Amino acid sequence: MAKVTTFEAGYCTHLACMAQKGAGFNVCKFPARAWLIEIGIHRWLWDTGYADHFERYTQSGIFKLYRKVTPVYLNEGESLKQQFLSNGIDLASIEHIILSHFHGDHIAGLKDFSFSSFICSHKGWQKIKTLRGFSALMQGFVPDLIPDNFEQKLTFIESFEKCNLPLDLAPFTEGYIVPNSQKQIILVDLPGHAIGHIGAFIETDQGWLLLASDAAWTPANYKQLKGPAQLANFIMDDPIAYYQTLSKLNQLSLNPNVTIYLSHEGYL
């Protein structure tokens, strides 16, 4: 079965009530998580968290506003590149990076993995790839974080074999099998937060887990259906779809054999 290892590559801060209604006005940490997935000789990386490139490309111009709204903290040695090197993980062994979506805190480390190819939603990339300036900023996208040869090394999830999910994963019913994963990594659409936003069901020795990315920011978002502040709707691709996804996560969370992981589950 798949082995999944969690990493935190920096964090941003924001008001707790932005992530969860009624959580108060205290400023909280929201870690930028990424996951290393291993099956046999194959390795995938789920998102990249923050990296030094983020600071470089948001120091000036309109993208400086990104750091003003969500201050970012990345200490020496905290990027995934540095953590992998410190832990003896060969960067060249990461065959593919799966991108849940294109917000800066999920793609900032792409340029550190020159040996890897990339996997994402076709819909997400087609929507985002031409955005620049203010339009890109409004989508949380920093174009300079994308490697020059990105499209030459890109595969879309829609090209993967489609399958019906096990009944245990209801209300989710279908997904895309990642090649060479022995059907242990199945990608699913989690619409709402960003266009082309995806998650991954992964089968481990402890059962199924779902990397739900930014489909929620706190467990209470889906367990108690306490969504984020109304103001957060302005940065969502589709607020209606977002709450439909939350409802699905709520139903899934009732299954004790499935664990849900969030990219930014903060310390409220």
**pLDDT tens per residue across span 253-262:** 999 999 999 9
Annotation: CATH topology of 3-261: Metallo-beta-lactamase; Chain A (3.60.15)
Distance CA 145, CA 56 (A): 10
Domain ranges of the chain: 3-261
Which range is least confidently modeled, 67-76, 87-96, 250-259?
A: 67-76
Distance CA 80, CA 138 (A): 26
**Average pLDDT score over residue span 139-158:** 97
- Cβ neighbours of residue 175 under 8 Å, at least 6 residues apart? 162, 163, 165, 186, 187, 188, 201
Q: Contact 204/6 with Cβ under 8 angstroms?
A: no
Distance CA 239, CA 211 (A): 20
What letter represents residue 38's amino acid? E
**Distance from the Cα of residue 12 to its chain's centroid:** 14
Q: What pLDDT, on a 0 to 100 scale, did the predictor assign at position 51?
A: 97
Distance CA 238, CA 261 (A): 22
Q: What pLDDT, on a 0 to 100 scale, did the predictor assign at position 268?
A: 57
Buried-exposed string 200-209: b where 16+ CB fall within 10 A, e elsewhere: bbbbeeeebb
Q: What pLDDT, on a 0 to 100 scale, did the predictor assign at position 16?
A: 80
Which pLDDT band holds residue 24 (cuts at 50, 70, 90)? confident
Query: Across the chain, what does the average pLDDT equal?
Result: 94
